[in-house]
Amino acid sequence: MAEILAPGKQQDGVGGGGGGFHEGDFGGYGSGPPPGTSRRIYRTGMWLGLLAISMVFLAFTSAYIVRSGLSDDWLPIELPRLLWGNALLLFLSSLTIERTRKALNGGRRAECNHWLAVTTALGVAFLVGQLLVWRQLASHGVYVTTNPSSSFFYLLTATHGLHLLGGVMALLYIVWQAWHYQLGPAKRTLVEVTAIYWHFMDGLWIYILLLLSLWR
Amino acid sequence: MAHAAGAHAVHEAPTGFIRKYIFSLDHKVIGIQYYLLALVAVWVGMILSLYMRLRLAWPTEEFPLVGGVMTPEAYLSLVTMHGTIMVFFVLTTAPQSGFGNYILPIQIGAADMAFPFLNALSFWVTFLSFAVMLAAFFVSGGAPISGWTGYPPLSAVGEVAGPGLGLGQTLWVVSLAIFCGGALLGALNFIATTLDLRAKGMYLMRMPLTVWAWFITAILGLLAFGVLLAAGVLLLMDRVAGTSFFIPGGLVISEQIISHKGGSPLLWQHLFWFFGHPEVYIAILPGMGVVSQILSTFARKPIFGYRAMVYAIMGIGGLGFLVWGHHMFISGMSPYSAIAFSVLTLSIGVPSAIKTFNWLGTLIGGRIRFTTPMLYALGFVSLFVTGGLSGLFLGQPSLDLYLHDTYFVLAHFHMVMGVAAIFGIFAGTYFWFPKMFGRMMNEPLGKLHFWITFIGVYAIFMPMHYIGIAGHPRRYAETSGVEYLGSLQPVHDFISIVAIVTIAAQFIFLFNFFWSLYHGEKASVNPWECTTLEWTVPSPPPHDNFGGHSPVVYHGAYEYNVPGASQDYIMQTSPEKVTH
Amino acid sequence: MAVVLALAITVITLVSMYLFTVKTWWMPPYISEYGQAYDQHFMLTLVICGIIFFLAQLGLAYAIFRYRDRGQKVHYSHGNNTLEAIWTSATAVLFIGLVLWGSHIWARAHLQEAPAGAVQVEAWGQQFTWYFRYPGPDGRLGNTKPELMKESIGNPLGLDPDDPASRDDVVMPVIAIPVNRPVEVILRSKDVIHNFAVRELRLKQDLVPGLENRIHFTASQIGRYEVPCMELCGLGHYQMRTFLEVMSEADFENWLRENAPETQ
């Protein structure tokens, strides 16, 4: 750890003289500390948050692998094809949130708002799609307790869905800010960390799909 | 310099009572809130242990508040809640979230934590978790009886397996899951703050060892609590949704067939201990940091082997994730993996020994001032050695074949992660109280408290080694059920009497704490003549810590008695030259 | 203060060590093949820990006494890398050497299979009693079914009457074994986790529902030994106890015959 951190210690040490900032400070651009500090904190915080989320899913994965190899009652679940369609939606939303970010960086407000709306819509569509998948499974008599594989299916999709819902909330907040013409350059950090989170949720979904379809 | 402007960005000092003391975003207020939460929790946990000791010594007596003679299941719910409350709401909460929150930002020269809102949120989430945990006492069936480790199937199948395993156990799981959320937010905040908000010149290798300990502890927390959260969710699903993650098939409890099938009880143990072992270090590492700080300060001598201490903290933290299997030697997991786990486990003895040697090295050649915090720090070293050494027995699967789940284990972890960590908390309290509350604690009372507690804990926990070697199992409500335990009963009586005295002595601390809040001698900026940044600001510090300016750091944390210096310590912020 | 603290630490250290040496509370004499090696390794670990304990605590007491504030000059030092390297490698060698040195006991108990021809006993734990099952004359343990597990009708282990191998199985609340013959115990649980531990055997193993853990040993002393449950299993945990009865070969055969089920 120290070996990794130590080379950067010069710049680490010099920076960050300011202090803490909370959400309200985003509006006060210019009166605050070097904007870099706040941006860096938020990026660090987001990466750490993603690390924590990864540990949760890592634990679920190990439980999944152990449980599937353990007993003779494991019947692999038939994955509804709609899941792949949902994955496509999420993948597209990753592209559009990148467009949002680029547009904001370039100061193209209308374009930014446009892509922002598309991303949010895609996110909501994904969640609706996931609900449809659940309904499909339920209509085939596959519930949480039907089989350990279905328990894990619902567990993983629900946990991912909850996290994505958090992302959608963040997007709605940004939309609301944009609606009120408050989405200035100072909001870049907010959009940026949301984009990081969003991409991560995208990758996480692909990971879950691969786990469910390859380790049966 | 850009830094000077920085402080203005910090949230304004709030004025109303609620914003100032209840829903405050100030890391100092939140630190005190965490500390007070732990103080309440430690009294609850201690009273529970008192009742356990009463039951063990006088199994047929009636005691107040429990409605007649204590039942065996009442004893087990005391065991469970004592363990859970102490581990989560005291040992995790006070040294890390309490002191860490208050001191860490000031020691690195920041005006607050990186995310003040998340900080407040994490406290209130923890508070909620505590409330849910306590609620388990008051629901039908009472508190759970499955121990703080909550092994399924006992913890998973519900009330059919015993009282307290219904709603009480569900609340227990829910409370832990909530706690994980709060702990993760806190850990994230600590890491981001340490990485990004250090003052100019506060290089990583100049950070006080307290900061290193909190930092590494936060990393452990970030990686470990997510796993406990996941395990808790799975257990909750087994309990309420009817899944079978941990419950195997074919269970027959009280002639009732349990409908679950195919799950693995050992899976819980793996997940739980993957969290549970790092948790032990989450409890003790901050104490190690505090003790390093205090030993150096009162020996008036630089800490011996600063870098080795930093690497030892990292080593303990890193290895802590690789040894969880030593809790499961006799569970039926692969006997080959036991060998690997044991080698890794004994390897943790190495960084632990490094720390002990360096503490001794710090004392030797010093000029020791015996203040109350110093007494507690020295007590910590003694207890840490004692508790650590019994780990050499338990870490070996060969010896665990006999010692597992005996009082020897109880003695081991109480000495090292219980009492030693508590001594770290006491040391920190006596040391930072002047900074936190602006007044000194009473020294004679503090010393009296130390003497009774120090001798008391040895008299309580040393004998547990002996009855452990004699084969006394843990978590036994009384000794009547097994013939060979009868001869060990006098030891229980002895332990219980000492425990009553030691617990009574904690009122001295409580009195000292609250009396000193109002009547203690006013504390100067730097009453202990210590070098770190918190001692450069008023006691207590103003809302933004450094009054609008940002400190600049020129030295490592422990420059005492530098040859040729103007006084026997050089503040980290002093531009005075040090020639090594 | 310094003198008192140094004295207190010294006294605590010496009293603690003394109480380890008088063995007022100690393991009972061993009766299994692991016992001698176990006790030797236990003593070795105890001696090593004792030496470290003595040196560390008295070193602490000495430092407290010798370097108390008498206005002396402080030796300014940030440490010594050579010393760090020495004690790091010394403790590493000592600790890892110790665990490897003792691992043969574990290997013998758990990496080796039970010898062929070992007496097989199946141990069952349930809240809060024990049952032990012997294969009977046919040498085979028959089927059991959870739905048949009813103590009230005298079939606590759910022996399947349709399985001929089950009919001659002997079910007892205590475990009897012949002296000086290898025994393999198969550990199973009906409900929650229990633990089979006999101090004199220097062995301990969980009974985990859904698993069949195995231990093997040879008892060398005829006698009656207590078997307390050592894994928290519920409110009656403290009284879940049975006995291991080590008998002569002839007594054991008799015992099995006497307790055989009546219906043949």
CATH of the domain at C186: 2.60.40.420
Check whether B9 has a pLDDT greater than 60. Answer: no
Picking from B379, B359, B363, B368, the residue whose alpha carbon sits closest to that of residue B309 is B359
The separation between CA B195 and the C-alpha centre of its own chain, rounded to angstroms, equals: 23
CB contact under 8 A, C106 and B335: yes
The H-assigned helical ranges of B197-264 are 209-236
What count of Cα atoms within 13 Å lies in the side-chain half-sphere of residue C115?
Answer: 9
Closest residue of chain A to B216, computed from CA coordinates: A1
Do residues C55 and C15 share a domain?
yes
Interface of B with C in 473-512 (CB under 8 A): 473-485, 488, 491
Q: Is the Cβ pair B9, A19 closer than 8 Å?
A: yes
* Residue C74 domain-assigned (yes or no): no
Domain count within chain C: 2
Closest CB from A6, A22, A55 relative to B227: A55
In a domain, C222, yes or no: yes
Q: What is the pLDDT of residues B184-200, one digit of tens each?
A: 999 999 999 999 999 99
C36 C-beta neighbours (distance < 10 Å), count = 12
- Domain membership of residue B106 (yes or no) is yes
Which of C100, C6, C102, C89 lies closest to C46 in space, CA to CA? C102
Angle ∠(C58,B319,B271) on CA atoms, nearest 5: 120
pLDDT score at B579:
67
Contact B189 A45 (CB under 8 A): yes
Per-residue pLDDT averaged across B381-404, rounded?
A: 97
B-chain CB neighbours of C79 within 8 Å are 302-308, 358, 361
pLDDT exceeds cutoff 70 at A18: no
- Interval B361-378: pLDDT, tens: 999 999 999 999 999 999
Position B10 scores a pLDDT of 52
Residues C130, C246 within the same domain: yes
**CATH assignment at residue B451:** 1.20.210.10
Q: Which two tokens stand for residue C183?
A: 């025994």
| Residues of chain C contacting B465 with CB distance shorter than 8 Å | 20
Which runs of consecutive H residues, i.e. helices, occur in B237-334? Answer: 265-299, 306-319
C29, closest residue in chain B (CA to CA): B470
Q: Is B198 helix (H, G, I), strand (E, B) or coil?
A: coil
CB atoms within 10 A of CB A24: 11
* B271–A144 C-beta distance less than 8 A: no
Does residue C75 belong to any structural domain of this protein?
no
Q: What number of other Cβ atoms are within 10 A of residue B524's Cβ?
A: 14
Q: Which domain holds residue B204?
A: 2-250+278-536
Please indicate, yes or no, if residue B549 is contained in any of the structural domains: no
DSSP C136: T
Residue A185 located in a structural domain: yes
Nearest 10 degrees: Cα torsion B477, B482, B486, B492: -30
Q: Which of B:231-260 have CB within 8 Å of C? A: 248-255, 257
Cβ-based burial of C246 (10 A; exposed 0-12, middle 13-18, buried ≥19): buried
pLDDT at residue A11, rounded to an integer: 33
| A4 interfaces chain B, CB cutoff of 8 Å | no
Residue B473, Ramachandran bin (φ over 0: left; ψ between -120 and 50: alpha; else beta): beta
**Chain A from 78 to 137: CB within 8 A of any B CB:** none
When pLDDT is cut at 50, 70 and 90, the band that residue A109 belongs to is confident
Q: Does B574 map to a domain?
A: no
Check CB contact under 8 Å for B113 and A51.
no
The CA distance from A111 to the nearest CA of chain B, in Å, is 31
Question: Quick count: other Cβ atoms within 10 Å of Cβ B17?
Answer: 8
Tell me what the mean pLDDT of segment C21-50 comes to: 96
Which chain A residue lies closest to B113 (C-alpha atoms)? Answer: A20
Instruction: Specify whether C148 is located in the same domain as C170.
Output: yes
| Residues B205 and A9 sit within 8 Å (Cβ to Cβ) | yes
Same domain as C88, residue C10:
yes
What does the pLDDT read at residue B573?
95
Tokens of C163: 């399985």
Q: How confident is the model over B234-271, as pLDDT tens digits?
A: 999 999 999 999 999 999 998 899 998 889 999 999 99
Structural domain that includes position A43: 39-70+81-214
Distance, in Å, from the CA atom of A19 to the CA atom of C8, rounded to the nearest integer, reads: 46
Count of the separate structural domains present in chain B = 1
Q: Indicate yes or no: CB of C5 within 8 angstroms of CB of B393.
A: no
Q: What's the confidence (pLDDT) of residue A14?
A: 31
Res A1 pLDDT > 60 = no
Q: Which residues of chain B neighbour C190 with C-beta distances below 8 Å?
A: 251-253
Q: Are residues C125 and C194 in the same domain?
A: yes
Q: Exposed, middle or buried by CB within 10 Å (0-12, 13-18, 19+), for B423?
A: buried
A3 pLDDT more than 80: no
Distance from CA of B356 to the nearest CA of C (A): 8
Look at B381 and C60 and tell me if their CB atoms are within 8 Å: yes
Residue B41: which H helix or E strand, with range?
Answer: helix B27-57
B263, part of any domain: no
pLDDT tens-place string over residues B549-571? 889 999 999 999 999 888 999 99
- In chain C, DSSP finds a helix count (H) and a strand count (E) of 5, 10
> Residue B4: what pLDDT?
34
What digits encode the pLDDT tens for the residues C51-94?
Answer: 999 999 999 999 999 999 999 999 999 999 999 999 999 999 99
**CATH for A129:** 1.20.120.80
Question: Is position B454 within any domain?
Answer: yes
C263: in domain: no
- Report yes or no: C49 and B389 within 8 Å, Cβ to Cβ: yes
> In this structure, is residue B553 part of a structural domain?
no
Judged against a pLDDT cut of 50, whether residue A121 lies above it is answered with yes
The beta-carbon neighbor of A63 closest among B184, B223, B267 is B267
CA B552, chain centre distance (Å): 32
Window from A168-177, A195-204, B227-236, B484-493 with minimum mean pLDDT: A168-177
Q: C204 and B336: CB-CB below 8 Å?
A: no
Does residue B530 have a pLDDT over 70? yes
Asked, for residue A14, whether it belongs to a domain, the answer is no
Rounded mean pLDDT, C148-169: 91
Tell me whether strands C182-189 and C119-126 are parallel, antiparallel or unpaired: parallel
User: Does B136 map to a domain?
Assistant: yes
Q: C243 and C146 in one domain? A: yes
Whether residues C123 and C106 share a domain: the answer is no
- Please give the mean pLDDT across all residues of chain B: 94
Q: Which residues of B touch C199 (CB under 8 A)?
A: 402, 471, 484
Q: What does the alpha-carbon distance between residue C33 and residue A81 come to, in Å, rounded to a whole number? A: 61
Residue A118 C-alpha, separation from nearest chain B C-alpha, in angstroms = 30
pLDDT over 80 at A8, yes or no: no
Q: With an 8 Å Cβ cutoff, are A6 and B205 in contact?
A: yes
- The total of other beta-carbon atoms located within 10 Å of residue A17's CB is 29
**Whole-angstrom Cα distance, residue B533 to residue B555?**
11
Size of interface B-C (CB pairs under 8 A): 347
C246 band by pLDDT with thresholds 50, 70 and 90:
very high
Span B443-462, mean pLDDT?
A: 97
- Nearest by CB to residue B471, choosing from C27, C70, C234, is C27
Per-residue model confidence (pLDDT) at position B289: 97
Q: How many CB atoms lie within 10 A of CB B360?
A: 19
Place of tokens 């140094």: C6
State which residues form the domain around C149.
119-258
Q: Residue C176, class by beta-carbon neighbours within 10 Å (0-12 exposed, 13-18 middle, 19+ buried)?
A: buried
CA distance A212 to chain B (A): 17
The whole-number average pLDDT for the span B481-509 is 97
Give a yes or no: residue C206 inside a domain.
Answer: yes
Domain-embedded: residue B565: no
How many domains does one find in chain A?
1
- Judge if C132 and C191 occupy the same domain: yes
Chain B contact present for A2, CB below 8 A: yes
CB B240 within 8 A of CB B166: no
Among residues 151-170 of chain A, which lie with CB inside 8 Å of chain B?
151, 155, 159
CB contact under 8 A, C69 and B368: yes
User: pLDDT confidence of B20, banded at 50, 70, 90?
Assistant: confident
pLDDT in tens, B516-529: 999 999 999 999 99
Residue to test with chain B: of A44, A74, A152, A189, most B Cβ within 10 A: A44
Pairing between strand B256-257 and B252-253? antiparallel
Contact B191/A34, CB-based, under 8 Å? no
- How far away is chain B from the Cα of A66, in angstroms, using its nearest Cα? 7
What share of chain A in percent tops pLDDT 90? 62
- CB burial of residue A35 (10 Å; 0-12, 13-18, 19+): middle
pLDDT, tens digit (0-9, with 9 covering 90-100), for A142-197: 999 999 999 999 999 999 999 999 999 999 999 888 888 776 666 788 999 999 99
Residue range B61-112, pLDDT digits in tens:
998 887 788 999 999 999 999 999 999 999 999 999 999 999 999 999 999 9
**C63: chain B residues, CB-CB within 8 Å:** 360, 363-364, 368
Asked if residue C73 belongs to a domain, the reply is: no
ipTM: 0.96
* Residues C138 and C233 reside in one and the same domain: yes
- Are C191 and C212 members of one domain? yes
User: Measured between CA atoms, how close is B76 to chain C, in angstroms?
Assistant: 7
Q: What is the pLDDT of residue C95?
A: 96
Token code pair at residue C31: 């009766």
Cα A42 to chain centroid, rounded: 15
Q: How far, CA to CA in Å, does B43 sit from each of B70, B145, B442, C21, C132?
A: 20, 20, 21, 36, 45
Q: Do C234 and B300 touch (CB under 8 A)?
A: no
